[in-house]
Structure 1
C-alpha cells in the first residue's frame, strides 16, 4: 500500500510541476515577446503559438488540480446547512459526476488528438495534436482524484503528503 501511495504522490507531484512549469514558461515567453516588440520592433514568430499551447495545458491541468483540492462544484453556504449524511451523499454524487466528465475528456480528447495529428501549427510546425493531448491526461488524473474521493480518501495536497493512510 505504501508503494502505491508513493507512486501516486510521484505522479501527482510530476503533474503539478508540469503545470507550474508551463505557467512559468508562459510568463517568460510573454514578457520576452513584449520586450522584443517594444524595444526591438519585432516579435518572435513562435511566441504566440507556444504561449497558447502552454495556456491550454496549464488550464486543463488546473482543472484536475482543482478536483484534487476539491475546489469545484462546492457551494459551502448551501452544504453548511445540510446534515453530515446528506453532505456525504452529495460528495459521492459530485465525485461520480466528475468521473463522468473525466471519461468524456478522455474519449473526446483522444479523438481530437488523433484527428489533429496530421495537421501542424503554422509557425512552429508542431502537430496540432499537442493542443488536445492534455485532455485525456487531465481526464485520467480527474478519474484518479475523484475515485479516491469516492472511496473516502482526502486528496488535498496537504493530506496526501501528511502520511495518514
Structure 2
C-alpha cells in the first residue's frame, strides 16, 4: 500500500518539480532576452516584465513546497537535542500537523483570493489576475501531500546530496 502511494506521489511530485524548473529556466531566458534587446536595440517586449514576475511568483511558491518536501525549513534543535527521543518524535508529529495546517491555510485562502482576483486582468498579457495567485492553493495541496506522507512514514526527501544537514527521522 505504501509503495503504491509513494509511486503515485512521486509521479505527481516529478511533474511539480519539472514545472518549477521550467519556470525558472523560462524566467532566466526572458530576462536575458529583455536585457539584450534593451541594450542592443533599445526595445523591450511589452509582456516580458509581467511574465517574469508571474514565473517568479510561481517558482517561489513551488519552492516553498519543495523545501517542505526536502525538510529544508528552519529548525532550532539546540533545545530539542537535550530531550529524549520519544519526546522528539512527539514534537516532530506536532510540527508536521502544524505544517499540514499551514498547507490547508494556503489551500483555502489561496483559492478564495484566486477567485476574488479572477475578475481583473493583468495589463500587458490580459491574463486573468488569478493566474498570479493560483499557485497558492496548488502549493498548499502539495504541502499537505508531503506532510501527510511524512506523517504516515513515507520518506519524501528526493535529493540526498544537498549541502544542508538534514536529520534522518
Shared fold (TM-score, shorter chain, > 0.5): yes
Q: Give the C-alpha shift of residue 158 in structure 1.
A: 4.9
Q: How does 1:122-137 map to 2 (within 5 A)?
A: 122-137=123-138
Instruction: Report the Cα distance in structure 2 between the residues aligned to 1:78 and 1:44, rounded to whole angstroms.
Output: 53
Q: Give the C-alpha shift of residue 74 in structure 1.
A: 1.7
Instruction: Report the Cα distance in structure 2 between the residues aligned to 1:123 and 1:143, rounded to whole angstroms.
Output: 34
TM-score, with length taken from structure 2? 0.88
Let me know the Cα RMSD of the aligned residues: 1.5
Q: Which moved more, 1:69-78 or 1:98-107?
A: 69-78
**Equivalence for 1:54:** 55
Aligned residue for 2:16, secondary structure, equals: helix
TM-score, with length taken from structure 1? 0.90
Instruction: Report the Cα distance in structure 1 between the residues aligned to 2:46 and 2:66, rounded to whole angstroms.
Output: 32
**Equivalence for 2:88:** 87
Equivalenced residues, count: 159
Could you tell me whether the CA contact under 8 Å between 1:120 and 1:126 is conserved in 2? yes
Q: Give the C-alpha shift of residue 136 in structure 1.
A: 0.5
Could you tell me whether the CA contact under 8 Å between 1:57 and 1:134 is conserved in 2? yes
**Equivalence for 2:40:** 39
Runs of at least 5 residues in structure 1 that lack an aligned partner in the other structure: 160-165
Instruction: Report the Cα distance in structure 2 between the residues aligned to 1:32 and 1:130, rounded to whole angstroms.
Output: 23
Runs of at least 5 residues in structure 2 that lack an aligned partner in the other structure: 161-169
**Equivalence for 2:107:** 106
Asked if 1:150 is matched to 2:154, the reply is no
Could you tell me whether the CA contact under 8 Å between 1:73 and 1:94 is conserved in 2? no
